A and B are shown apart, each in its own frame.
Chain A
Amino acid sequence: MRIVVTVKYVPDINTERGFEDCRVVRSPAEGTLNELDENALEAALQLVEAAGQGEVVALTVAAPDGDVALRKAFQMGVTRGVRVSDDALAGSDYFGTAAALAAAVRKLEEESPVDLVITGMAALDGLGSVVPVLLAAELGRPALHLAKKLAVSGGTVTVVREADDVTEELSAPLPAVVSVTDTANRPRFPNFKLIMAARTREIEAWTAADLGLDPATVGAAGARTQTVSAAPRPPRPETQLVTDKGDGGVALAEFLLRNDLV
């Protein structure tokens, strides 16, 4: 079982996040592995462990700071990390990102087959939830998006997904692309040995040229959308705080009525 897990380097949701020149600020102080990709890593590690053999490769498209995300993947037990970095990729939209990820998966395929690509359900910076599907489309593989349960047997992958009040069971032949939700599993905590090993593990850095990507189709040059403005919201007016002394509910109702919210 050989699995590629795509991991994104994103600003920590517990910090002040923002934009500069219409691009998300990604600073090493606040940058981290997209938390939802931990579920993807966990799913991949479990499948390889169950198979008793194989490899999990963590793959990111990011500036060199993105190594933070790969190191976290190593800490969970991943043994190989690939980062695709290139100035030509800066400013990529969903399609450019998916194209770069797909090209990297294809390059990995040249070495030996990749049975599964597993992704997180969404990147917590943009909350798009579309890269997994676009990556599958680029690779010409079936997409099983938002898996809450995932099983592989006899060359078939089966998932259960729950979204928008609908529960579906889907299956597809391998190789496939699967995204897993935050409820699919509980990501493991890294142990001391893995944390130590993660420090020295080598990260392979690939460029757009290594992947044969046409610079005109990726990055800002190939983007089909362009962020034209980004502004912080004005601070909310101070909270009106009422302590319940027996009439807190009346105060709440009055607030709603006074503001025409009923």
Chain B
Amino acid sequence: MTNRTILVLLDPATEVRTGVLELLTIARGLGRVEAVSLESPTVEALAQLGAYGVGTVRQAELPPALHGDERHLPAVVAAALAAAVRRADADVVLLPTSFANKEAAALAAHHLGAGLIIDAAAVSEDDDRRVVGSKRVFAGSWDTACAVTTDVAVITVRANAVVPAAAEAAVEPVVEGFAVQVPELPVTLVSRTVKPRTSGRPSLEEAAVVVAGGRGTGGDFGPVEDLADALGAAVGASRDAVFEGWWDAYIGQTGVTIAPRVYIGAGISGAPHHRGGMQAAQVIVAVNSDPEAPIFEICDFAVVGDLADVLPQAAAEIRKHKG
């Protein structure tokens, strides 16, 4: 353990998501952990942060001229992160990976002259006490490690990097405000709408188990949803299935990149674009009627068969087991 200070972005502030708990767990292994928030954290959030060893929550005080939703703009988040690093004299900033957070991380690193690592799966320290981010690249076929050579490191970390673990002893977090100067925004936010989270299911980004459907569903995602619900899993799709209008979020290089414990692909051929977004999964399972389907090359377990038969049967079997 060192005397390093690690800032974790609380995103969103109203709810401590699993992704953030994972970052707090990683951060505790690197040094002293603080959280940065752009909103006022709730009592529940504070209790959870305390349980994970966060002694200080730094809450950004944004200029009053900023309109409500503008606080979500990456330029604003970046300004807050940079100010928090200076205020806390922090060494590392961790953010859960998302498109918006990558943008904020890049801008914060630009302000700070910091080294930037995108999509790390692990963060550690090397013999020279440099911060090292490891990541799996080229559709899960190579492991790389990158050392940050500047004083400050800004790192986005993908979900499911670690199993979240509470601190040995809980602490009572102190909330400390800090002023953030935001230079005049060059971009106007005309409108912003957030898609409501699907009822009861975990989010695709964070889920430990994902069931995905492709063109082979023929448009009926019923069996995919059935198995997902039996497993408490998230539902995803291939890009083609989304283009058909059968589902709303796709997995892949240009969609959501996931690294769950288990990925189950049904009626998905396994195109390189799709693989690029899921091949880092720990266990890969596929159901496909074509024995030559390319996805079988990267599977741990696969069923050659019609997904409309196989998935409901698997779901029933799992429900039976769960009792």
Q: How many of B's residues come within 8 Å of A, CB to CB?
A: 89
Cβ-defined contact, B303 with A172, below 8 A: no
Contacts A95-B116, A225-B149, A248-B303 given: A166-B192 contact, CB under 8 Å?
yes
Cβ-defined contact, B102 with A128, below 8 A: yes
Contact stretch, chosen from B53-61, B173-181, B292-300: B292-300
Please name all residues of chain A whose beta carbon is closer than 8 Å to the beta carbon of B100 when the two chains form the complex.
Answer: 163-164, 166
Please name all residues of chain B whose beta carbon is closer than 8 Å to the beta carbon of A125 when the two chains form the complex.
Answer: 137-138
Residue from the list B257, B287, B291, B322 in contact with A127, Cβ < 8 A: B257
Chain B residue with Cβ nearest A260 = B261
Residue from the list A144, A169, A249 in contact with B191, Cβ < 8 A: A169
Cβ-defined contact, A232 with B114, below 8 A: no
Cβ of A193 under 8 Å from chain B:
no
Please name all residues of chain A whose beta carbon is closer than 8 Å to the beta carbon of B14 when the two chains form the complex.
Answer: none
Q: Which of A125-165 contact B (CB under 8 A)?
A: 125-130, 133-134, 137, 141-146, 158, 163-165
How distant is the Cα of A232 from the Cα of B285 in the complex, in angstroms? Answer: 22
Chain B 267-280 interface 0/1 with A at a Cβ cutoff of 8 Å (1 = within): 00000110010000
Cβ-defined contact, B188 with A126, below 8 A: no
Query: Distance (Å) between the CB of B90 and the closest chain A CB?
Result: 16
Contacts A127-B119, A261-B209 given: A164-B318 contact, CB under 8 Å?
no
Contacts A252-B287, A253-B321 given: A121-B254 contact, CB under 8 Å?
yes
Residue from the list A14, A126, A130, A165 in contact with B137, Cβ < 8 A: A126
Cβ of B103 under 8 Å from chain A:
yes
Cβ-defined contact, B305 with A13, below 8 A: no
Cβ-defined contact, B116 with A261, below 8 A: no
Please name all residues of chain A whose beta carbon is closer than 8 Å to the beta carbon of B287 when the two chains form the complex.
Answer: 248, 252
Please name all residues of chain B whose beta carbon is closer than 8 Å to the beta carbon of A231 when the two chains form the complex.
Answer: 142-144
Cβ-defined contact, A259 with B306, below 8 A: no
Q: Which of B32-52 contact A (CB under 8 A)?
A: none
How distant is the Cα of A171 from the Cα of B249 in the complex, in angstroms? Answer: 25
Cβ of B147 under 8 Å from chain A:
yes
Cβ of B194 under 8 Å from chain A:
yes
Chain A 211-251 interface 0/1 with B at a Cβ cutoff of 8 Å (1 = within): 00000000000011111111111001101111110011111
Residue from the list A146, A232, A253 in contact with B141, Cβ < 8 A: A232
Cβ of A256 under 8 Å from chain B:
yes
Residue from the list A182, A226, A253 in contact with B254, Cβ < 8 A: A182
Cβ-defined contact, B272 with A14, below 8 A: yes
How distant is the Cα of A251 from the Cα of B257 in the complex, in angstroms? Answer: 28
Cβ-defined contact, A122 with B303, below 8 A: no
Cβ of B168 under 8 Å from chain A:
no
Chain A residue with Cβ nearest B198 = A165
How distant is the Cα of A61 from the Cα of B297 in the complex, in angstroms? Answer: 35
Cβ of B132 under 8 Å from chain A:
yes
Chain A residue with Cβ nearest B255 = A182
Cβ of B16 under 8 Å from chain A:
no
Cβ-defined contact, B318 with A256, below 8 A: yes
Cβ-defined contact, B118 with A226, below 8 A: no
How distant is the Cα of A244 from the Cα of B301 in the complex, in angstroms? Answer: 13
Cβ of B106 under 8 Å from chain A:
yes
Cβ of A17 under 8 Å from chain B:
yes
Cβ of B317 under 8 Å from chain A:
yes
Chain B 114-126 interface 0/1 with A at a Cβ cutoff of 8 Å (1 = within): 1111110000001
How distant is the Cα of A165 from the Cα of B255 in the complex, in angstroms? Answer: 11
Cβ of B262 under 8 Å from chain A:
yes
Contacts A224-B116, A239-B297 given: A95-B144 contact, CB under 8 Å?
no
Please name all residues of chain B whose beta carbon is closer than 8 Å to the beta carbon of A171 when the two chains form the complex.
Answer: 187-188, 190
How distant is the Cα of A166 from the Cα of B101 in the complex, in angstroms? Answer: 13
How distant is the Cα of A25 from the Cα of B254 in the complex, in angstroms? Answer: 22
Cβ of B163 under 8 Å from chain A:
no
Cβ-defined contact, A233 with B143, below 8 A: yes
How distant is the Cα of A259 from the Cα of B299 in the complex, in angstroms? Answer: 14
Cβ of A36 under 8 Å from chain B:
yes
Residue from the list A145, A261, A262 in contact with B103, Cβ < 8 A: A145
Please name all residues of chain A whose beta carbon is closer than 8 Å to the beta carbon of B305 when the two chains form the complex.
Answer: 243-244, 248
How distant is the Cα of A134 from the Cα of B115 in the complex, in angstroms? Answer: 13
Please name all residues of chain A whose beta carbon is closer than 8 Å to the beta carbon of B114 when the two chains form the complex.
Answer: 224
Chain B 67-95 interface 0/1 with A at a Cβ cutoff of 8 Å (1 = within): 00000101000000000000000000000
List 18 contacting pairs A-B, 8 Å CB cutoff, sorted by A: A14-B272, A124-B253, A145-B103, A166-B193, A166-B194, A181-B254, A223-B149, A226-B146, A226-B147, A230-B143, A233-B140, A233-B141, A244-B303, A244-B310, A250-B314, A252-B287, A252-B317, A262-B322
Which residues on B are within 8 Å of A, measured CB to CB? 72, 74, 98-100, 102-103, 105-107, 109-110, 113-119, 126, 132-133, 136-150, 186-195, 197, 203, 205, 209, 231, 249, 253-254, 257, 261-262, 272-273, 276, 283-285, 287, 291, 296-306, 309-318, 321-322
The 7 closest A-B pairs by CB, nearest first: A249-B313, A244-B305, A224-B115, A253-B317, A142-B186, A163-B99, A249-B314
A-B contact sample (20 more), CB < 8 A, given A165-B249, A248-B305, A249-B309: A93-B116, A95-B109, A130-B102, A143-B187, A167-B191, A169-B190, A170-B190, A172-B187, A183-B254, A225-B148, A226-B149, A229-B143, A237-B300, A239-B300, A248-B303, A249-B303, A251-B303, A256-B262, A262-B318, A262-B321
